[in-house]
Amino acid sequence: MKQKHFIFISVICLVLVSCNNKKLTEVVEVPLPSKEEKMLIGSPEDVKADDGTFKMVALPYSYEALAPNIDALTMELHYSKHYLTYTNNLNKAIAGTELDQLSIEEVLKKLDVSNADLRNNAGGYYNHSLFWENMASKPAAKPKDSLAVAINRDFGSFEGFRTQFEDAASKQFGSGWAWLVTDKAGKLQITSTANQDNPLMSNAVIKGTPILALDVWEHAYYLNYQYKRKKYIDAFFNVINWKKVGERYDEAIKN
């Protein structure tokens, strides 16, 4: 009986040893992570702001979705660091003030622009929330329906609009944003603002409801495009979610 056990255990050991040896000699083909993948932290769903009135808008696509127009690492840093910080700082700045219960649009219209903390963080929160939503992975190349009609009416053609918008984005000195806005009559205008200001704020030169936003801060493009802002602006036109922008336009002229 004992001998049988010994033989049985020996056979098991032999099998285990041979399996182990096989593993050691096998070559498993696993692609090495790219430099970019090594640096990635995670997925947008894992990013959580601290408790507060304003919540982060969920990124409607993955960090990689807009590449090569906007690279994954830029998207990740932009969403999980910059946007998260604006959201948390807005919630801290607004807590306990009389603006706490208003929508972000109302906050922007009513805030005192001499309050730099609230102005920068409310602007940063709103501008980025809009920016994420007005991009998509494989969007239509041009607007349709009522927005297409309005663009032709107010800029002569889509190309006329694009030239003016790219010009505003290129010429914004330093950090800021380029905008397509609409007034109550539905008239479209292009403008740009410095830092995290936007066309809803009381100090805006051209006021209106933003329907398209482009971040021209260096953090939005420097990793991929370095100082070549114009290349980034051109690439942005490959990822504009015209369907969403059109919906925002229809919503804006209804109100």
Binding site for Mn ion (CB under 5 A): 215, 217
Question: Please, what is the minimum distance in Å from the beta carbon of residue 217 to Mn ion?
Answer: 5
Q: Which is nearer to Mn ion, 221 or 249 (CB)?
A: 221
The conformation of residue 111, written as its DSSP 8-state character, comes to S
For residue 198, which amino acid is it?
A: N
Question: Rounded distance, CA 101 to CA 98, Å?
Answer: 7
The residue (of 179 and 217) whose beta carbon lies closer to Mn ion is 217
Q: How near is the Cβ of 92 to Mn ion at its closest, in Å? A: 19
Beta pairing partners, 180:
190, 212
Residue nearest to Mn ion (CB): 215
User: Shortest distance, CB of residue 27 to Mn ion, whole angstroms?
Assistant: 44
Q: Write the secondary structure of 68-93 as one string of H (helix), E (strand) and C (coil).
A: CCCCHHHHHHHHHHHHHHHHHHHHHH
Sign of CA dihedral 10, 14, 20, 21: positive
Burial per residue of 157-191, b for 16 or more beta-carbon CB atoms within 10 angstroms, e otherwise: eeeebbebbbebbeebeeebbbbbbbeeebebbbb
Q: Which amino acid is at 85?
A: T
Comparing CB distances to Mn ion, the nearer of 133 and 215 is 215
> Whose Cβ is closer to Mn ion: residue 6's or residue 227's?
227
Q: How far is the CB of 83 from Mn ion (least distance, A)?
A: 7
Nearer to Mn ion, 155 or 217 (CB): 217
Q: In the bound complex, what is the minimum distance in angstroms from residue 134's beta carbon to Mn ion?
A: 13
Burial grade of 42 (CB within 10 A; 0-12, 13-18, 19 or more): exposed
Distances (CA, A) of 33 to 22, 37, 64: 26, 6, 14
Nearest approach in angstroms of CB 163 to Mn ion is 24
- Whichever of 217 and 249 has its CB closer to Mn ion, that residue is 217
Cβ-based neighbours of 197, under 8 Å, separated by 6 or more: 119, 123, 176, 177, 203, 204
Q: How far is the CB of 218 from Mn ion (least distance, A)?
A: 9
Closer residue to Mn ion in complex, CB, 76/215: 215
